[in-house]
Amino acid sequence: MPSGGGGISLEYDSSVNISLADKTAYLNYTHPGRSTQDIVLCIEINGEIVAQSGTIEPGNRLKKLALLDGAEKKLSEGTYTDADFRVLSYDPESGEKAMVDTVAKITVTVEK
């Protein structure tokens, strides 16, 4: 890997379920141990972030995320195909954000 370079890989299930009742997104996302970057994972629906993790170090798995305040009011029951995981990458030593975000298409099902 070039000096100053970094790598990130994605391991995830492309189906996400959101419960409006408990304001939680249920997902399966693994930040593999071979990644060289810390990440913040966002769930984006129709171009708007509805959930965001804290910093995730390589080798960790995420199974659920709380919705951002008020996000449940912007969602209705149904299936959203204009949805993404937006992965923000950060240098683990400096904390500096990488220039480019990684985006992966997902399908989100919203239930009461």
pLDDT, tens digit, for every residue of 37-56? Answer: 999 999 999 999 999 999 99
Q: pLDDT for 54-109, tens place per residue?
A: 999 999 999 999 999 999 999 999 999 999 999 999 999 999 999 889 999 999 99
- For the chain, the domains span 11-111
Euclidean distance between CA atoms 108 and 83, whole angstroms: 7
Enter the tokens of residue 98: 């990488």
Enter the tokens of residue 61: 């798995």
Enter the tokens of residue 68: 């951002």
97 Cβ neighbours under 8 A, 6+ residues apart: 88, 89, 90
Secondary structure of residue 33 in the 3-state scheme: coil
- Write out the CATH class of domain 11-111: mainly beta
Widest CA span in the chain: 49
